Amino acid sequence: MTDLATRYNIPGQHFWLHGPRSGPAVEFDAQTGMWSVYGYPEAHDILGDPETFSSNTLRLLPKGMVPDSEEFSMEGFITQIDPPLHGKLRKLVSSAFTRKVVADLEPRIAELTRELLDAAKERGHLELVTDLAYPLPVIVIAELLGVPTSDRDLFKQWADALFQRDAKFSLSEPAETQQMDAAIKPWKEMTAYLAAHAAERRAHPRADLITRLVEAEVDGERLPDDQVVNFAMTLLLAGHITTTMLLGNTVLCLDAFPDQQARVMADRSLVPHAIEESLRLFTPFAAVSRATRREVTVGEATIPADQMMLVWLAAANRDPRQFADPETFDLGRDPNPHVAFGRGVHFCLGAPLARLEGRVALDILLDYFGPLRAAEGVEMIPTPTMTGVRRLALA
């Protein structure tokens, strides 16, 4: 894998892409002030135990590191909320964002993929991210929510301002404050934009997801306005960057492992395996955070209460204790119990959509341009906790 890291200019901070790591499964990182978890069984247990490991990690950030919570806070977001409140909220949003709503999108995803690839074919070249991996999921999520796809440059500006940072997150480095401050404006704009859409749907319901969220009801309870906005915002942001990373990474994996690409070219029933194996080997959200509620022993480490933890899903997905030959992209890996979508109560709500988009788009991409070969100059997103291709032109 070291060769691949060099070949694709993968930054050093993406340590999980630089060959097998040695060292303990859990360790304290003095530079960030957080505990890092790298092992699969440890990550598996932590994600399955929200009683001990809270998702509400913002409370541990030192004062001054995050802007005033009145202005900018993730506190009310589903990913930060613990049981039992989390279960109630998840039930409500799931009643609007169902598997059927997602499954029904398949023909539209295929149509959009063909439109985008036809345009690239006409131009005679394909830069995967700009031409397919970015626009496809954004258009799909915008259409699903019911916000104008023509506003997608705006969504990109917001998503970039909120996500694409190159600084390492640290509890002890105040430099982060500046980056957070820069995120306030897009945050406010996005909140106001979605609040206006939600208010409009209350007055004039339509056949879209924002209307379904506004009308969602479980046991006589509805989502409060701010939760409709929060969830729409989560979907718009998550619907953006994640599948974009997944598609780019999958093409990179196929380029790096041509024997596996030949297999999937010859047998398209392997397309879903390619998507799962890409999620394992190039895990898009490389890490998720948790906070200890009490002193607890994880692996060999004893961690005090109220400590911030980074659970490195990307490293867990390459743990040789769980995956044989973990550095190899292997379409025959079955079962493939990767934790790229997390695990437990917070398991990714968008996993069915990401998988569907990945599967449909890869199948059509192979029809149009297979075998897929990356040209020189692949670029990765610099954000330390993300694994994703930012630029990949086909040779």
Interface with ligand HEM (CB under 6 A): 55, 78-79, 90, 141, 234-235, 238-239, 242-243, 246, 284-285, 288, 313, 340-342, 346, 348-350, 353-354
Percent helix / strand / coil, the chain, rounded to 5: 50, 10, 35
Q: Least separation, in Å, of the C-beta of 188 and ligand HEM?
A: 21
Query: Which residue lies nearer to ligand HEM by CB, 92 or 120?
Result: 92
Identity of the residue, 4 or 386, whose beta carbon is nearer to ligand HEM in the bound complex: 386
Query: Which one, 91 or 206, has the nearer CB to ligand HEM?
Result: 91
Chain position whose Cβ is nearest to ligand HEM: 350
Helix orientation angle between 225-256 and 135-145, rounded to the nearest 10 degrees: 160
CB closer to ligand HEM out of 266 and 336: 336
Identity of the residue, 210 or 235, whose beta carbon is nearer to ligand HEM in the bound complex: 235
Q: How far apart are CA 283 and CA 277, in angstroms?
A: 9
Q: What is the closest distance, in whole angstroms, from the C-beta atom of residue 186 to ligand HEM in the complex?
A: 19
Closest to ligand HEM by CB, 273 vs 346, is 346
Give me the least distance between CB of 273 and ligand HEM, in Å please: 15
**Closest distance between ligand HEM and the C-beta of residue 387, in Å?**
9
Least distance in angstroms from the C-beta of 88 to ligand HEM: 11
Which residues share a beta bridge with 389?
A: 380
Angle at 257 between CA 121 and CA 114, to 5 degrees: 25
List the structure tokens of 350.
């968008």
Minimum Å gap between C-beta 123 and ligand HEM is 27
Beta carbons within 8 Å of 358's beta carbon, 6+ residues apart: 243, 246, 247, 250, 275, 278
- Cα–Cα distance between 310 and 185 in angstroms, integer? 27
Question: How far is residue 395 CA from its own chain's centroid?
Answer: 27
- Beta strand extents in the chain (DSSP E only): 26-29, 34-37, 53-54, 217-218, 221-222, 287-292, 296-298, 301-303, 308-312, 379-380, 389-391
